[in-house]
Amino acid sequence: MVAVTFGILLAVSTWLTAALKPDCRLKPQHTLCLRPSRACQHISRGVDAAARAHILKLHNHYRSLVAKGQLPGFAPAADMQELLWDDDLTEVAQAHAELCTDTQGTGRLKHDNDRSTTTFPDVGQNLASSSSSVISPLDWDDSSGISNAIGHFTQVIWAKSRYVGCGYLQYYVPNSIYKDVKLYTCNYGPAGNYQRRPLYQEGRTCSACPQPTTCNQSSGLCFDPQSSSRDRPSGSGGGEKRGDGEAVGDDASTSSWLPLVVGLLVGLVVGAAGMVWICRRYAATEPVAAPQPGDQTAATGESQMSTQQ
């Protein structure tokens, strides 16, 4: 009887896992349908439980600063939601990292064309890279421009984005000077950075938490007491996973890439806040045109629209 029950559960789990995969005949450009690059030799891959917890802590820390009006240049947020982890977003993010589009270690990364999941047809994305042979140790995508740098930061603090999932790959390229390259991909659902939509609703902290969320008085974030991170029993995002969510089968050492995440978010906060202050000061010296009905600041950055094929 126990064996039969176990077999049924295994079959259901396998069916559910398969159902979450895209139909590659209909969506050949989906990230999960693309072949990983053979040019990169893996050193370690995947996000372990400690890294996952730290990524969430960092994201929610800065969302909390904005929500409580403690980040210079940003008004308090009335509807800033707490970010949770999502395994489906993680699986696609890990697949993107393993495409290994930066085989020269240049830091010039490429966003994927279709990163949708069954839950989130629209998915935002932030990318980072680090290389022991690159002068700049940390870059968001190819974000040398002010608008791009602000765009990546605004995805981090987009109020209606509730879930995040990240992938990581450390690799080297044979017969090249790039012996220790680290790639980092984070996917966000629902996507942020829509034009003519605000980052968040300005107002008293937690005064407009959407149903069924309520206010966490300590963090100033809206959270759902009945909700939790969206984990699948099989896990994803690099290697197999035990019940505690730790990646096994690969060396997914937290210490090897958490400094990249920490530096990335700290750099985004400091840089974006500074650029917002500069832009506002510059705008104050220029004639201001009459606003059009419904106009709001258009944030830029990489997010995927449902109309994208």
Q: Is the pLDDT of residue 221 over 50?
A: yes
Q: What are phi and psi of 198, to 5 degrees?
A: -75, 155
Residue 29 lies in a domain: no
Residue 244 lies in a domain: yes
Mean pLDDT of 216-244: 63
Q: For 277-285, what is the mean pLDDT?
A: 47
Mean pLDDT, the chain, whole residue set: 73
Does any domain span residue 197?
yes
Residue with tokens 């077999």: 7
Range of the domain at 230: 38-284
Buried/exposed code over 143-180 (b: 16+ C-beta within 10 A; e: otherwise): beeeebbbbbbbbbbbbbbbbbbbbbbbbbbeeeebee
Quote the pLDDT of residue 285. 41
Q: Domain for residue 20, yes or no?
A: no
Span 228-253, mean pLDDT?
A: 40
Of 141 and 70, the structure prediction assigns the larger pLDDT to 70
Strands 84-85 and 163-172, sheet pairing: parallel
Residue 89 included in any domain: yes
Q: What is the CATH number of the domain that holds 236?
A: 3.40.33.10
28-43: average pLDDT: 90
User: Tell me, what's the pLDDT at 246?
Assistant: 30
Buried b (16+ CB within 10 A) or exposed e, 77-114: bbbbbbbbbbbbbbbbbbbbbbbbbbeebebebebbeb
- Asked whether residue 95 is domain-assigned, the answer is yes
The verdict on residue 47 lying in a domain is yes
More confident residue, 179 or 106: 179
- Does the residue 140 lie in any domain? yes
How many domains are there within the chain? 1
Question: In the predicted model, is pLDDT for residue 85 greater than 90?
Answer: yes
Among 115-124, 141-150, 246-255, name the one with the lowest average pLDDT.
246-255
Report for 33-42, 130-139, 144-153, 236-245: range of highest mean pLDDT: 33-42
Instruction: List beta partners, residue 188.
Output: 124, 164
Tokens of 97: 């990292």
For the entire predicted model, the pTM comes to 0.70
User: Is the model more confident about 290 or about 177?
Assistant: 177
Pick from 26-30, 208-212, 227-231 the range whose average pLDDT is largest: 208-212
Instruction: Return the structure tokens found at 93.
Output: 């993010």
Helix, strand and coil in the chain, % to nearest 5: 30, 15, 50
> What residues pair up with 126 in beta bridges, in sequence order?
186
- Residue matched to tokens 């047809």: 121
Say yes or no to pLDDT of 114 above 50.
Answer: yes
Q: Which residues does residue 223 pair with via DSSP β-bridges, in sequence order?
A: 214
Mean pLDDT check: name the lowest of 39-43, 224-228, 298-302.
Answer: 298-302
In this predicted model, what pLDDT tens digit does every residue of 144-195 receive, in sequence order? 344 556 778 899 999 999 999 999 999 888 887 777 888 889 999 999 999 8
